[in-house]
Structure 1
Amino acid sequence: MIHGLKLFDDRERQFWVLHTGGWVGFALIYYLGSFLHDMRSIWLFVILLNAYAGWLITIPLRYVFRRLWRLQTWQMVLAALVCSYIVGVIWAVIKNINYWEIYKHGYRPDEWIFYFSNSVNSFSVIVCWSGLYFGIKYYQLLQQEKQNALKASTMAHQAHLKMLRYQLNPHFLFNTLNAISTLVLIKENDTANAMVSRLSDFLRYSLDKDPIKKVPLEQEIQAIEMYLDIEKVRFEDRLTVSWDVAGEARDALVPSLILQPIIENAIKYAIAKTEQGGQISISAKAFGRDLLIEVTDNGPGAEISNGQLQRHGGVGLSNIRERLQSLYGNNFSFVIAHNAPSGVKVSIRIPYQVGQDANQD
């Protein structure tokens, strides 16, 4: 199957296969249609000779027709019919020679070379050949245009995803650098140095991962833990994190750094808003064909309407929806709701995929 597809990937090879196969089919159909007329091998020889002549004289038509694409439609059709008629007449003459000289052993009527009893049939066959040529050529051009459009769409899609992903980093980087600056000012050099080291590890992970590709949730967890280590330097005991990730969910593929802006949002509006701090809980599990992820906090909460936050200045949540839309179409959900007894709960549902499933997509 794969070899057959590769065979037709090369247009030059495709032409010769179809061209030869078409004339072989013509000879077979013509012989079977006249089988009762004559079963002698000489009749089969004449048919094969006629088919070979047709195969040979239609090859120049291909190169003539290539030049006709530059003409207007009516000019192209008219020129193709004229060329087909000329080739049809030549083929009819060749068939007459084969018939009278070989099959009839030299017997021929007066003016036998211009005896065009089969000229209409010859012209019809050449017109069919021409029609098939233009039809296949048009189909190839149409497929090429579709491939070009798809390639352009894919490139735009990838650029859009990268833009969305990298829009998230400045928020986090700005906050972290401010925290490091504060630590330096208050002479907490060891803490500042540890924070710089963790920031370096996190940014290296962020830049190494292609936002177009998905990563196992296990890797995403490791990245989030690096991020949380940085935030714990800022908030110390005020920030508590709990994890509840099922074993089968750890191998599931997720968009890289899809959780970081959610957790950053929780820190900004839940942990940082209260003196005693709070807790962020992250859970993930497989349910049927879906992967369910939840991030909750026990902060003061927020105004929520139709599953969306009604506050300004949220970090990257709208970008998350756009990334999920780009990657999964309509096969996802991204809902923000009130958490009980307080806080915000963010729920994500995406298709459950592992490495092999993603390759099949």
Structure 2
Amino acid sequence: MSRWYKWFESNERLFWGLHTLGWLGLAIIYYIGSFLNDPRPIFLFIVLLNSLAGWVLTVPLRYVFQHSRQYSLVKMALTILAATYAVSLLWAVARNFHYWEIYKHGFRPEELIYYFHGTINAFVIIGCWAVLYFGIKNYQMLQKEKQNALTATTMAHQAHLKMLRYQLNPHFLFNTLNAISTLVLMKENKTAEKMVSRLSDFLRYSLDNDPIKKVPLGEEIKALRLYLEIEKVRFDDRLNVQWDVSEKCEQALVPSLLLQPIIENAIKHAISKMTGGGAIEISAKIFGHDLLLDVADNGPGAKIKNGQLKRENGVGLVNIRERLHSLYNRNFAFTIEHNQPQGVRVRIRIPYEVKERNDAE
């Protein structure tokens, strides 16, 4: 099936294929309709000869019609009508010639007007050919315009996703480099060196993954562990991370670096505010056809209104909501609520998707 589809993708092949099938089909219909009147092979020969003449005479119409698109609407219509009538006239003469000279073995009428008999009938058939030609051509142009519009929309959508995804990098880099700078000023060079090494590994993962494509949650968790190792250099034992992710969830596809801004937000507004440190819980569960992701902290909490944090200049969480909307339209949930007994909990629901086998091949 795909081979035939590819064969017809070429306009040239499509034209010659449909052009030949159309005239062959007309010959078959005409012969079947007149078979009872004359079943002799000579009649079949005449029918095929007439179709061949129509096949040959209508080929130039294609190029006349293509050239006429450059004209104004009125001039184009007049050109199409004139060319169609001229070809109809020639085809009528050819059919009558075949009839009198071959079928009737030279027994012809004395008046030449008989050679133009059936011109109206020929004009109707050639007119149908012209209508089909323009119908198919306009349909192709419409499909091409739709495809171009879809391509443009897709490219704009991908560009938007890339912008949202890469917007996280300078935001994260600023915080990390600021921490490294602080360590250097405090002459904690070994700690700073360790942070630079972890940062290098994390950025390599970030740059190696296409922002448009989704990644397995297992790979995302590896990247999160790299990020948390960077933060653990800063907070040491003050940062406690608890994981609750089943093996089946690790196969689920998620947008790359989806949870990192949430964890960064929890560290900045919860862990860093607590003298004795705090904990972050990260969990992933499958419920029906959905993947449920939770990130919770036990920090001092925050003001939440209508499922949104009431903080100014926040980039990460707003960014996540826009990315989810771009990827899943309305088939997602992103809520922020108070954790119990204290802290903030972020919940995400997205469709449960796994990588198909042929995607990996």
* Aligned counterpart, 2:322: 322
1:203-248: CA deviation from partner (whole Å, max 9, x where unpaired)? 1111111100010000000000000000111111111101101111
Q: CA deviation at 1:78?
A: 2.4
Deviating more after overlay: 142-151 vs 85-94: 142-151
Return 5+ residue gaps in structure 1 as ranges.
none
* Aligned counterpart, 1:354: 354
The letter of the residue matching 1:107 is F
Return 5+ residue gaps in structure 2 as ranges.
none
**Matches of 2:163 and 2:151, distance apart in 1:** 18
Q: CA deviation at 1:114?
A: 4.7
**Matches of 1:137 and 1:186, distance apart in 2:** 73
* Aligned counterpart, 1:247: 247
* Aligned counterpart, 2:178: 178
1:235-291: CA deviation from partner (whole Å, max 9, x where unpaired)? 111111011011111001111111111111111111112212211111112222111
TM-score by length of 2: 0.96
The letter of the residue matching 1:207 is L
Deviating more after overlay: 184-193 vs 106-115: 106-115
Q: Is the 8 A contact 2:26 2:51 kept in 1?
A: yes
For 1:1-361, list aligned pairs within 5 A: 1-112=1-112, 114-356=114-356
**Matches of 2:120 and 2:192, distance apart in 1:** 92
Q: CA deviation at 1:357?
A: 8.4
The letter of the residue matching 2:258 is I
Q: Is the 8 A contact 2:97 2:115 kept in 1?
A: no
**Matches of 2:115 and 2:42, distance apart in 1:** 21
**Matches of 1:74 and 1:305, distance apart in 2:** 64
**Matches of 1:117 and 1:155, distance apart in 2:** 58
The letter of the residue matching 1:139 is Y
The letter of the residue matching 1:31 is Y
Q: CA deviation at 1:54?
A: 0.5
**Matches of 1:331 and 1:30, distance apart in 2:** 57
SS of alignment partner, residue 106 of structure 1? coil
Deviating more after overlay: 127-136 vs 33-42: 33-42
Q: CA deviation at 1:117?
A: 2.5
TM-score by length of 1: 0.96
Q: CA deviation at 1:129?
A: 0.4
Deviating more after overlay: 280-289 vs 190-199: 280-289
The letter of the residue matching 1:55 is W
Deviating more after overlay: 3-12 vs 73-82: 73-82
**Matches of 1:330 and 1:78, distance apart in 2:** 52
Q: Is the 8 A contact 1:93 1:113 kept in 2?
A: no
**Matches of 1:93 and 1:117, distance apart in 2:** 8
**Matches of 1:319 and 1:187, distance apart in 2:** 35
**Matches of 1:329 and 1:50, distance apart in 2:** 58
Q: CA deviation at 1:97?
A: 0.4
